[in-house]
Amino acid sequence: MTISAQAAADLLGRPVRPMQAPLSVLRGRRIMITGAAGSIGRALALRLAQCAPRSLCLVDVSDHGLVETMDAVLSAAPGVAVRERLCDVRDFARLSHVFDRERPELVIHAAALKYVHMGERHPGECVLTNLIGVRNAIEALRANGGGRFVLISTDKAASPTSVMGASKRLAELYVRDVAAAQNGVQAIAVRFGNVFGTRGSVVPIFMEQIRRGAPVTVTHPDMERYFMLLEEAVDLILQAAGTDHGPDQGLSPVLLLDMGEPLRIKDLAERMVKTLTPAGRPPSGVVFTGLKEGEKLSEQLQDEHEVRLPFHVDGLWRLQPVALARALSEADLAALETTARTGSDAVVRQKVFALLDQVLLPQDQAAAG
C-alpha cells in the first residue's frame, strides 16, 4: 500500500508546495550526503543525481540501506558518478579518510538517530551520532579545504525535553559557531518537523495497521505534529544548500522550513482509515496507547531563545538568537564525548542538558555564573 504525493497532500489538508530548488547551481560540484540510506538521504540523492554533479558520494553505516540507495540512484540516473562509502560518522579517523578521497564541496549531513524514545534509553549513542558526528564531518570538511555544510535538524531542537532534541540543538549551536568563525566552512542548519511517510514515522505504521484490519494506534488524542511532504522537505533543503546567503555577518545560520499549521495525529489517523480501508471491510478503530519516553504532546518550531526573521527564499525563515550566547568549545565537546562513551545513562543525560543550559545563557549571565 503506497500513497501518492497528491493523496498525501489531501490527507494533510493543503496543496503541495511547488518545487523551486536552483539545481543548476549544484551542477558539476562534488557532493556528499551522510545518512544517505535514510528516507531523506535517499530522496536527496535521487534529486541531486538529476543535476549532473561532478560526483555524488553516499555515506552511511547501514550496508543494506546503502546498497538500496545506490541501486535506486543508478536506476534513476545511470550516468551519474556516484560512489558509496560505508562509514560511521562517529569514527573520525575513518570519516576523515573518506573526505580525503572524495574532497566534497558540499556536504548535506542527514546522519542522525531520530527516535525520541530510543534516545532516552541510549543517550550516549544519541549524543555520539547527533552531535559528535556533526563535529567530525565539519572538521573533516575543513581539513580538506572547506566548503558548504548543511545540517538536517528537527523541531525537537526547540525547547528540547528529550536527549534527541537536546543533541540536535547542541549540533545547531555548533553550526552557529562554525559559521561565525569564517574559517573555510560555510555552515548552515535547516530545522523542520515530521516528513510525511518516511521510514519509522506514523504514516507507514498506520498504513500497515489499516492493511491488516488492526486498530490504528495513536499515543494521545491531543497529540499534534507539523508535517510536510518528502518532496517539499528535499526541495527546501536544496534551496538552502544552493542559495547564496549573502553578507550575513552577525546573522544566525539556522534556517526554519515553513511547516504550515500543525495537524492532530488523531485526525490524520481517522482520515487515513476513511481513505485507505478497502471497500466492503469495516474500518479500523483508533486506540490510544499513551506517550512514549521523552515525547511531547505538541512540538514547536522555535522557543524563547530565538526569534523568526524573514529570509530571502520563499518557504524558509531565519532563526535568530534573542541574546548573544557563549560558544561551544572544543573542550565542551571533548568532555561530552568522553561522558557519552563511558558514563552512565543518567550522567550522560544530565551533562547534555547542563551544557545546553550553559550555552543558551546570554554571555553576561554565563560569565556571572
- Lowest pLDDT segment from 132-146, 184-198, 332-346: 184-198
Report pLDDT for 363.
Answer: 55
267-283 tens-digit pLDDT: 999 998 988 888 888 88
Per-residue pLDDT, averaged over 50-69, amounts to 96
Per-residue pLDDT, averaged over 67-78, amounts to 96
Task: Exactly one of 114, 156, 296, 351 is catalytic; name it.
Answer: 156
- Lowest pLDDT segment from 18-27, 102-111, 169-178, 250-259: 18-27
- Amino acid present at 32: M
154-171 tens-digit pLDDT: 999 999 999 999 999 999
Report pLDDT for 366.
Answer: 47
316 pLDDT exceeds 70? yes
Interatomic CA distance for residues 179 and 169, integer angstroms: 15
- Mean pLDDT of the chain, nearest integer: 91
Please give the torsion angle defined by the CA atoms of residues 347, 353, 355 and 357, in that order, rounded to the nearest 10 degrees.
-150
Please give the torsion angle defined by the CA atoms of residues 350, 38, 107 and 105, in that order, rounded to the nearest 10 degrees.
160
The dihedral region occupied by 258, where left means phi > 0, alpha psi between -120 and 50, and beta the remainder, is beta
197-235 tens-digit pLDDT: 787 788 888 989 998 999 999 999 999 998 888 998 999
Report pLDDT for 21.
Answer: 76
Report pLDDT for 365.
Answer: 57
Per-residue pLDDT, averaged over 235-257, amounts to 81
Res. 243 pLDDT band, cuts 50 70 90: confident
Residue 156 is among the residues annotated as catalytic for this protein = yes
User: With contact defined as beta carbons under 8 Å apart, do 194 and 162 qualify?
Assistant: no
308 pLDDT exceeds 90? yes
150 pLDDT exceeds 70? yes
Percent above pLDDT 90 for the chain:
68
56 pLDDT exceeds 70? yes
- Amino acid present at 196: F
Highest-scoring range by mean pLDDT, 117-126, 217-226, 237-246: 117-126
* Whether this model's pTM surpasses 0.85: yes
User: With contact defined as beta carbons under 8 Å apart, do 51 and 29 qualify?
Assistant: no
Look-up of cell digits 579545504: 145
Percent above pLDDT 70 for the chain:
95
362 pLDDT exceeds 80? no
367 pLDDT exceeds 60? no
- Lowest pLDDT segment from 6-20, 57-71, 80-94, 223-237: 6-20
Report pLDDT for 249.
Answer: 59
Report pLDDT for 368.
Answer: 47
Report pLDDT for 18.
Answer: 78
